Copies of this chain bind each other. A is one copy, B any other.
């Protein structure tokens, strides 16, 4: 990724701050957890979305990892009260297809300038992934102040996010990757965590057996988690 600082010097248009960040903050504040979904059977898309929304989790990430993902997004986007994002957006083509299918935001596990530029061109809010401080700075330079931290548990977990709060107090993270109901609160208690991504409430085995009641229950439990710190005012443009 090329970096572009928020400096007075003239910059290429593509590197201007995205306008996406404020709505990304609002999206991330709607619930403590964004379910990260892998949908293998298209007939499961709507009942799954309905169960999660009924359980109190209205913002969903549908990963572009299965052949039916784009069609699932189309169907799920019509469920009342839902906001559907596309996950695993790795290329501009992914971003375009996701938006056409009905996704209103994009999530990437890591981030390239190509995807940033494309999402900006599409006015598609992006939750871009970062891991190292260098990657965080590169995203700050592109105007982001909400980022995915992936893989959360394996890359240092709560300790890593605490450390990043030192030099980057203005950045809010959505950690995901390996988080479960049992350690979710530890992440949400961090002042630089705005919400978390998780898939424990919609495991593929429950989807396959169409046990929507149980998924709704687990969503309801996840909804009870507290993300008390995420209300602090932040600005899109930093420093």
Contact = CB atoms under 8 A, between A and B. Distances in A.
Interface of A: 1-7, 38, 63, 65, 87-88, 90-94, 108-115, 129-138, 140-141, 150-151, 153-157, 159-160, 162-164, 166-169, 177-178, 239
Main secondary structure of the interface of A (DSSP, over half): loop
**How many copies of this kind of chain does the complex include?**
3
Contacts of A156: 151, 154-156
B178 A65 contact: no
Given A3-B114, A141-B114, A157-B154, A163 B134 contact: no
Nearest to A159: B154
30 contacts: A4-B114, A5-B92, A5-B93, A5-B112, A5-B115, A6-B91, A38-B166, A63-B166, A65-B166, A65-B167, A90-B140, A91-B141, A94-B239, A108-B133, A108-B137, A110-B134, A112-B141, A114-B141, A130-B134, A131-B132, A131-B134, A133-B150, A134-B135, A151-B160, A154-B157, A154-B160, A154-B162, A155-B155, A155-B160, A163-B178
